[in-house]
Every structure is written in C-alpha cells, then in structure tokens.
C-alpha cells in the first residue's frame, strides 16, 4: 500500500521540525578523587623460592614478606627481611586497618583541594635487598642439601637407589602404585624376590623402600602384619646363617706375596695386600689412605684411618703395624719399598699403574682391590700346578673382604683376645666379631682336648 503525496509531505515536515524546547545542558562532572597509591605487589614466586628439585632429606618452606594490603610498616620490614625459612605454615597476613570514610566532595563551583604527593618508594620493598636475600637462601638451601647428602656414604646411597629402582620397576610391571605404596604390595614384592635374592639383600630393599617413603612424607609401616608375617616366613625358609667369603689365611697370603712380579705393579700389590691384612682394613678404607696418614716409627708403622664405614663422622682411628719376622712378608718394609719406588710424596698411596709402568695420579677403587686380590690368588695357585678348573673354583670363594676376615680368623687361631682383635679391626660389637673368629677358634677351645680318648 503506497503513501499518498500529501501524507509524504506532512511526514517530511514533522521529521525536519525543530524540537519544541532545547535540551538542557549536561551538568559538569565532579572532579574525580585522587587515586590511592597502589599497594606493594606481592613478590614473584620464582624470586622467593628455589626451582623445584627432588628433596632428598628435607625441603624447607620459603615464606615471603607481607603481600598486598599489608600496610606501610609491614612493607618496609619486607624490604629488610624478604625471606624467612620456616618449618611451620605461615600465619595469614594481618588485615589492613579499616579505611576512613572519604571526605565529602566539595561543591562543584570550588576546585578540589590538592593532596600532597606521596612517596611510593616507602611502601615498596627494596628489590635489591629482596634479590640478595633470595640468593642467600638459595645458597643456604644448596649447602644444606650437600650436608644432607653427606649424611650417608656414596656406597649406601647407590645401593638404596638401585633397590628403589628395582621396586619401582616391579610395581610398574604389575600395575601397582610405588609411591605411596601399601604394606600388602611390599609383602608381594618380597615374596617375588625371595626366590632369587639373599636375605641380607631383601632386608636392605625393605629398608630402602621405607626410607624413601619417609623422606617423601609418606611413612610406611614396615611392622604391618602383612609385611612381618611374610618376612618371618622368608627368614625361616632361607635361614639366618650368612654365607661369607673365605678368609685369606697366612699360608696363602705368603704364597701370593712370594709369587708377585718384581716390577712396580708387583711392589704395589705386595704393599696393598700385606697392609690390608695386617691392618684388618676394609677395601674402601684401604684405598682411602693418603701419604699423610702413614708415620714410620722405630716400633713399626702407625696408620691413621680418617673415616670408615662405622665412623661416618670422621672421629678417626689409629692402627699399629708391627714389623714382620720375615723380610719378604714384612708389611712395613713392603710399604716403604712401594713409596720409594713410586716416589709418592702426597695424596693417595695406592694408585693404578699402567702397562708402561707409570703411576697414575688417582687412587684405586674398592672394586680394583677385589680384582687385584683374585688375580693374585689365581697366579699363586697356578704356580702350584693346580688344574685350571680347581683354580677357578677356589678363587670364587674370595673377595676384597677376605683380607680383613683373614686377619680376624688368623688372630683368633693364634689365641689373641677379643678386645685386642677389636682394637685393630674397629668392631663395635662382640657378636659381629665372633662371626669371624668362630672358625679360627673352633679347635683351640674345644673341650675334647682335655678328654682321654
């Protein structure tokens, strides 16, 4: 339906017609109140806490200063003490004081009163002090971790790591949680590994699992009935008797020393084997000795053992080595000849010798002592004309610990008192020592000697 011509003209006239009354002008806006200075921002988290790292023994909580809205006085303290090492959760920041009601706005006609400028630096923590404090706490954290790492020997930590790795792999294979785990799963793990592992190894595996759970904040009750019942059955089935390595007796030691070559490596081997036997050293203790630990005196040789398996804090122990009755098997002369030939004036006394007869600067390892002893036994037994099969079978019963065990067994067979043996070996407990001397003492104190049979 179209629009008539008259209607269109009326519509156009009404559209263009000015309004009846002009619009009232807008009232002027009241001046805005001055913005309050921003509260100091909370420090960035990466600046206040070190990067996440696997906690070995502890993981301190780093607490920052007051956050937003803490007030000027608290903000100034945050500039002086930005970080604080705490072991308890931080108390919630105090709420800011209630703000006073804003002043009544002035009438539009009069200009607003100007507020004095405010020094914002007084409410902000000093960034340089904050960074310095953060760096210091980071250094302290790293130093604390080093001390925590030193609380256990490297050998113990390697053993625990291998034990935990085996348990974690077993749990992954059987679709079971490893951390935290349940006592029932630990019992199943012990049951599975009991077929192939020794009792001492299983005991260490259980200790490693418990220790890691403790360090991660998940205490594991190893006294749980599920674990104790299975562990008791394993002990009964396997027996508590420990199968140790053969002790190196004096007759075999003498044969070894006499069959070593006369070159530089042979001089080192004689000194190492004789000193390891005469001092009842563990292989780790033997390779840890330095030139400064030896003192030749008219009575023989004094050896200072700085640290040992049972002396992790380094209290130290002094051992005496008497001259031997025979020059070829005298420990004191053997050590003197080795030091003179190798020209060692400081540092480790037992070092590798390469095929060119050159003495290396680093020290021997404990595993090298075990290999050296086995090679020397093989050479000595072959020199006796024994069949190769018998030689290989006999050498399997020896290890680096055979030197220490040989001293204890031989001393007991010669009638030495237990306290005298313990003074040389450093044993803390008599029952531990008696496991070594049982074989050497079995015939000496046998009541059958006094019977007329």
Tokens of 137: 């706490």
**Catalytic residue from among 309, 367, 382, 428:** 309
- Please count the other Cβ atoms lying within 10 Å of the Cβ belonging to residue 130: 23
The candidate with the shortest Cα–Cα distance to 272, out of 349, 178, 185, is 349
Reduced to 3 states (helix: H, G, I; strand: E, B; else coil), residue 196 is: coil
Alpha helices (H) in 196-310, listed in sequence order: 199-215, 225-238, 250-259, 264-278, 283-287
Catalytic residue flag (residue 198): no
Using a CB cutoff of 8 Å and minimum separation of 24, what contacts does 138-146 make?
138/50, 140/85, 141/50, 141/60, 144/58, 144/60, 145/53, 145/56, 145/57
What distance lies between CA 3 and its chain's CA centroid?
97
Tokens of 250: 């004096």
What distance lies between CA 262 and its chain's CA centroid?
42
Catalytic residue flag (residue 427): yes
Catalytic residue flag (residue 351): no
CB 65 within 8 A of CB 78: yes
Catalytic residue flag (residue 367): no
**Catalytic residue from among 124, 205, 404, 407:** 404
Query: Which DSSP symbol is given to 300?
Result: E
Tokens 């937003």 belong to which residue?
A: 68
Query: ∠ at Cα 50 (46, 52), nearest 5°?
Result: 100
CA distance 301 to 274: 13
CA distance 435 to 433: 5
Backbone angles phi, psi at 62, to 5 degrees: -100, 120
Judged by phi (left if over 0) then psi (alpha if -120 to 50, else beta), residue 357 lies in left
Using a CB cutoff of 8 Å and minimum separation of 24, what contacts does 208-215 make?
208/159, 208/160, 208/163, 208/164, 208/167, 209/163, 209/164, 209/167, 209/181, 211/160, 212/160, 212/164, 212/179, 213/179, 213/180, 213/181, 215/55, 215/56, 215/57
**Catalytic residue from among 185, 333, 401, 407:** 401
**Catalytic residue from among 124, 268, 319, 427:** 427
Catalytic residue flag (residue 309): yes
CB 33 within 8 A of CB 101: no
Is the backbone peptide bond immediately before 259 cis, with ω within 30 degrees of 0?
A: no
Give the 3-state secondary structure of 81-114: CCCEEECCCCCCCCCCCCCCCCCCCCCCCCCCCC
Please say whether the dihedral angle defined by the alpha carbons of residues 269, 272, 278 and 281, taken in this order, is positive or negative. negative
Please say whether the dihedral angle defined by the alpha carbons of residues 78, 80, 85 and 87, taken in this order, is positive or negative. negative
**Catalytic residue from among 160, 185, 189, 436:** 436
**Catalytic residue from among 205, 213, 270, 282:** 282
Q: Which amino acids are annotated catalytic?
A: 282, 309, 401, 404, 427, 436
């Amino acid at each position: 339906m179209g629009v008539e011509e008259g209607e269109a003209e009326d519509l156009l006239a009404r559209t263009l017609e000015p309004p009846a009354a002009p619009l009232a002008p807008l009232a002027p806006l009241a001046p805005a109140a001055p913005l309050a200075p921003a509260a100091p921002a909370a420090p960035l988290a990466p600046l206040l806490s070190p990067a996440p790292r696997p906690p070995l023994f502890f993981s301190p909580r780093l607490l920052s200063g007051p956050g937003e809205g803490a007030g000027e006085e608290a903000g100034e303290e945050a500039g002086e003490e930005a970080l604080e090492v705490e072991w308890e959760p931080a108390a919630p920041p105090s709420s800011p004081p209630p703000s006073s009601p804003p002043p009544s706005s002035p009438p539009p006609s009069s200009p607003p009163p100007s507020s004095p400028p405010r020094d914002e630096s007084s409410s902000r923590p000093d960034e340089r002090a904050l960074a310095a404090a953060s760096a210091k706490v980071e250094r302290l954290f790293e130093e604390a971790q080093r001390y925590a790492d030193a609380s256990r020997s490297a050998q113990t930590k390697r053993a625990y790591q291998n034990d935990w790795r085996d348990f974690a792999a077993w749990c992954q294979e059987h679709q079971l949680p490893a951390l935290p785990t349940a006592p029932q799963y630990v019992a199943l793990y012990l049951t599975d590994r009991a077929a192939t592992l020794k009792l001492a190894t299983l005991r260490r595996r259980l200790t490693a699992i418990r220790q890691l759970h403790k360090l991660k904040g998940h205490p594991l009750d190893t006294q749980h009935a599920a674990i104790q019942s299975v562990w008791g059955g394993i002990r009964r089935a396997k027996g508590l008797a420990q199968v140790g390595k053969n002790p190196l007796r004096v007759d075999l030691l003498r044969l070894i020393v006499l069959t070593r070559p006369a070159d530089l490596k042979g001089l080192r081997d004689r000194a190492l084997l004789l000193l390891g036997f005469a001092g009842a050293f563990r292989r780790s203790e033997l390779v840890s000795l330095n030139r400064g630990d030896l003192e030749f005196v008219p009575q023989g040789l004094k050896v200072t053992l700085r640290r040992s398996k049972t002396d992790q804090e380094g209290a130290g122990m002094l051992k005496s080595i008497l001259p031997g009755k025979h020059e070829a098997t005298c420990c004191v002369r053997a050590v003197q000849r080795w030091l003179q030939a190798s020209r060692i004036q400081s540092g480790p006394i037992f070092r590798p010798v390469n095929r060119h007869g050159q003495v290396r600067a680093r020290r021997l390892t404990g595993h090298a002592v075990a290999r050296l002893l086995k090679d020397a036994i093989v050479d000595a037994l072959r020199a006796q004309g024994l069949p190769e099969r018998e030689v290989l079978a006999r050498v399997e019963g020896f290890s680096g610990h055979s030197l220490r065990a040989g001293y204890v067994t031989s001393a007991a067979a010669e009638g030495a008192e237990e306290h005298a043996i313990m003074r040389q070996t450093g044993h803390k407990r008599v029952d531990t020592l008696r496991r070594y001397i049982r074989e050497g003492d079995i015939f000496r104190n046998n009541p059958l000697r006094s019977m007329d049979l």
